[in-house]
Amino acid sequence: MKKRIYTDPIIAPSEITPEAVFLKRRDIIKSVAGLASATAIDAAAGVGHDAEAPLSFTADPDQSLIALRTPYEAVTSYNNFYEFGTDKSDPARHAHAMTTDPWTVKVGGLVEKPGELHLEDLLSGFELQERIYRFRCVEAWSMVVPWIGFPLSELLARFAPRSEGRFVEFKTLHRPSEMRGTRSFTSIIDWPYREGLRMDEAMHPLTLMAVGVYGKTLPNQNGAPLRLVVPWKYGFKSIKSIVEINVTDKQPATSWQQLQPTEYGFYANVNPEVDHPRWSQRFERRLPSSIFKPNRVSTLLFNGYAEQVAGLYEGMDLRQYY
Ligand code: MTE
C-alpha cells in the first residue's frame, strides 16, 4: 500500500485542546488497530455519534497532530452551508433533508474521458487517507479537522485532463426541494454554489477530496458525500456536496467573488498581511472558543502551509491576487 507522508510541524503544543487526553486514548486504540474501525474506537471512547458510517483509511502518519483536533461536536455543529440557511446552526438543523444516496458527480470539460462517479466509487474506489489539516474561515474562526479523503489529483487523473485545461470548476447540488436556504427570498447567492482552482492548485498533493471526518462518512452539514478541502485557502473555497467538476481553459466564476468581488477573490489564500476590507486577518478564533476563553491564535501565511505551496505563487502580488 502506497503511503504518502507529509508533516505539519507548525501547530504548537500550546494549541492543544482540553480534549487532548480523551483524544489520545482514542488514537492509541486506533494505532493498535492499524486500519481504523471507527465504530469500535468510538464505543471504547464513549462517543455517541452513530449516524455516519465508519470508513477504512490509512491513519495520518504524523501522530503529533492527533491531540490538536477540534472536537467532533464543534466541527459538525458550527457550519457554513448557505443552501440550508445563513446561521451557523442552520446546517446541522436542516441538512438532513438532503438525499445523498444515490449520488452522481459528472466530470467533463477539457478531459479525454468525460464520465461520472457514483457514491460507491467515492467511498471505495480510492485509497482513503486521513489528513489532519488546519481549516481557516475568511470570517476569522478556525479549526483543526481530521478529514478522510483522497487527493483531487487522483480523481482528475481518471478523466485525463487535456493540456489546454488550466482551471478546474466545481458545482454543488442545487435541489431547492431539499435545501431550504435556496428557497429563501433573502438568499443572496446565484445557485448552484460554485468554486474553482487553477490546475496546479488542483493537482497539489495537499488538495483533498474529503468523504469523511473523524473516521466516518461526512455528515450532511459538512458537505456529504464529497467536498473539496484546500487547507491553505479560506474555507469558502472548500465547496461542499459536489455534483459537477469541469476542466476549463478560463478562470471560472465563483460564488463569493460574483457576490462581492472587492471582498472575496478567486485565490483566497490565507494571509495575515492582507486584511479583508472590513476586518483584520492577523488573528483567528480557534474553535471551540467563548467570551471567557477566546482561544485567539495568530494567523499564518498560507495557513501554515507556506513551505509546501508558496512556490505556486512565486512572482505574484498577493495583494492584487487576493
Ligand atoms: N459549500 C457550499 N456548497 N455552500 C456553502 O455555503 N460555505 C463555505 C464552504 N463550502 C459553503 C460551502 C464556507 S464559507 C466555509 S467556511 C466552509 O464551507 C465551512 O465548512 P464547514 O461547515 O465544514 O466548517
Quick: pLDDT tens for 169-209: 999 999 999 999 999 988 999 999 999 999 999 999 999 99
- Whole-prediction pTM value? 0.87
pLDDT in tens, 201-256: 999 999 999 999 999 999 999 999 999 999 999 999 999 999 999 999 999 999 99
For residue 80, CA distances in Å to 84, 287, 319 come to 9, 14, 26
Taking alpha carbons only, the member of 300, 296, 232, 299 closest to residue 268 is 232
Taking alpha carbons only, the member of 91, 191, 211, 68 closest to residue 150 is 211
The CA 149 to ligand 1 mean position distance, Å, reads: 17
Which residue puts its alpha carbon closest to atom 10 of ligand 1?
Answer: 239
Which residue puts its alpha carbon closest to atom 21 of ligand 1?
Answer: 79
What are the domain boundaries of the chain?
6-313
CB 223 within 8 A of CB 202: no
Residue 267 has pLDDT above 80, yes or no: yes
**Most ligand 1 atoms within 8 A of CB, residue of 69, 72, 80, 213 to mutate:** 80
Residue 27 has pLDDT above 90, yes or no: no
Q: For strand 129-136 and strand 141-151, is the pairing parallel, antiparallel, or unpaired?
A: antiparallel
For domain 6-313, is the CATH number 3.20.20.70? Answer: no
Handedness of CA 124, 55, 127, 72 (dihedral sign): positive
- pLDDT of 31: 36
Which residue puts its alpha carbon closest to atom 14 of ligand 1?
Answer: 236
Grid coordinates representing 64 are: 503529533
The CA 75 to ligand 1 mean position distance, Å, reads: 12
pLDDT in tens, 271-286: 999 999 999 999 999 9
Taking alpha carbons only, the member of 287, 277, 275, 274 closest to residue 316 is 274
Q: Which atom of ligand 1 is nearest to the CA of 223?
A: 23
- pLDDT of 67: 81
Q: Which atom of ligand 1 is nearest to the CA of 79?
A: 22
Ligand 1: lining residues by beta carbon, under 6 Å: 79-83, 137, 172, 193, 222, 235-236, 238-241
pLDDT in tens, 121-136: 999 999 999 999 999 9
